[in-house]
Amino acid sequence: MLGMRIEEINRKNRSISERLFPKYFEPVFDDLSSLNWIIRAGAFWWREPWSEMSEEEFDREFGQFFDYSRDRNFLISKRPILPLFAPSLKDDWNFLFGFRQVPADPESWIQQYWSANVRSGFVSKSTDVCFVNVDALFWEMFSNVPEWLSKARTHLQTLLDVKVSDMPIEQSHGF
């Protein structure tokens, strides 16, 4: 799976409230708008009210969008979440796995992800696109769809404050 790493050149120039995920990837949101996702449960900037909710409260408030994984470490989207939730995604230790066809058994996918000897290889074979943020230092995008990478790269080249490096998923620091 091919991809790229996007690093800010000068973090001091950025407002603390500026969200990098939509800034970097907004041009591909239309292409990704029909995907379903498995994402880290702590993926959002807002206080995650569901962490203290009963299952009934969670279903009432967020159930139209997500199911919790059994281990409560991941959210499984029931319907597309981009671009709707893009502005709320954290730019720090984040993992988003996108699927044209959500796995028949998302819980099994999560278990296989955790137990894979080489997670990058598992992700490469089982997802259509993956976004990773490592320690608020950089975003990485990997995809088996070259057009999505090309569209994102073309946009990123218009930004003056980023460095874009091509890289295969096997070199990701996130897996």
In angstroms and rounded to an integer, the radius of gyration of the C-alpha atoms of the chain is 16
**Residue in the block written with tokens 């137990």:** 115
Per-residue pLDDT of 83-108, as tens digits, reads 888 888 999 999 999 999 889 999 99
Angle (nearest 5°) at CA 146 between 140 and 152: 50
* 10-68 confidence digits (pLDDT tens): 777 777 678 899 999 999 999 999 999 999 887 876 545 445 666 676 666 666 666 66
pTM of the model: 0.86
Question: What's the pLDDT tens digit per position in 150-175?
Answer: 999 999 999 989 999 999 999 998 88
Cβ(97)–Cβ(39) below 8 Å: yes
Spacing of C-alpha 164 from chain mean position: 18
Q: Residue 118 has which token pair?
A: 């080489």
Would you list the domain boundaries of the chain?
A: 2-171
